[in-house]
Amino acid sequence: MLFAPKKKYFNLITAATLCLLTACKLVPSLGHNPEGEALTRVQQQPNYKNGTFKNLPYPDDTVQTRIKGGNMMKLFFGKPDSVVPPRQLPWVKTNLKTLPSAQPVVVWFGHSSVLIKHQGTNILIDPVFSGNAGPVPGMVKAFKGATHYGVNDMPPIDVVIISHDHYDHLDYRTLKKLRKQVKKVIVPVGVGSHLQYWGYQPSQIIELNWHQSHTLPGGISITATPARHRSNRTLEGNKTLWASYVIKTGNYKLFYSGDGGYGHHFKTIGTQYGPFDLALVECGQYSPNWPHSHMHPTQTARAAQDLQARIMQPVHWAKFAESSHVWNDPVRQLLPAAQQLGVEVSVPRLGEPYVVGSPALHKVWWEL
Domain ranges of the chain: 81-355
Name the burial class of residue 359, with classes exposed (0-12), middle (13-18) and buried (19+) by CB atoms within 10 angstroms of its CB: exposed
Please report the DSSP string for 213-271 in residue order: EEE-TTS-EEEEE--S----SSS--SSS---EEEEEETTEEEEE--S----THHHHHHH
pTM of the model: 0.92
Residue with more model confidence, 71 or 286: 286
CA 178 to chain centre: 18
pLDDT of residue 77: 58
- The one-letter code for the residue type at 365 is W
Report how far apart, in Å, the C-alpha atoms of 127 and of each of 109, 240, 308 are: 9, 19, 26
* CA-closest candidate to residue 292, choices 305, 306, 282: 282
pLDDT of residue 238: 98
34-50: average pLDDT: 98
pLDDT-derived band at 136 (thresholds 50, 70, 90) equals confident
Residue with more model confidence, 11 or 135: 135
Name the burial class of residue 81, with classes exposed (0-12), middle (13-18) and buried (19+) by CB atoms within 10 angstroms of its CB: exposed
| Euclidean distance between CA atoms 295 and 282, whole angstroms | 7
Instruction: Centre a 10 Å sphere on the Cβ of residue 41 and count the other Cβ atoms it contains.
Output: 16
Write out pLDDT tens, residues 176-207: 999 999 999 999 999 999 999 999 999 999 99
Q: Which fold has domain 81-355?
A: Metallo-beta-lactamase; Chain A (3.60.15)
| Euclidean distance between CA atoms 252 and 220, whole angstroms | 10
Contact 277, 250 (CB under 8 A): no
Least confident of 10-14, 165-169, 199-203, 291-295: 10-14
| Euclidean distance between CA atoms 193 and 186, whole angstroms | 12
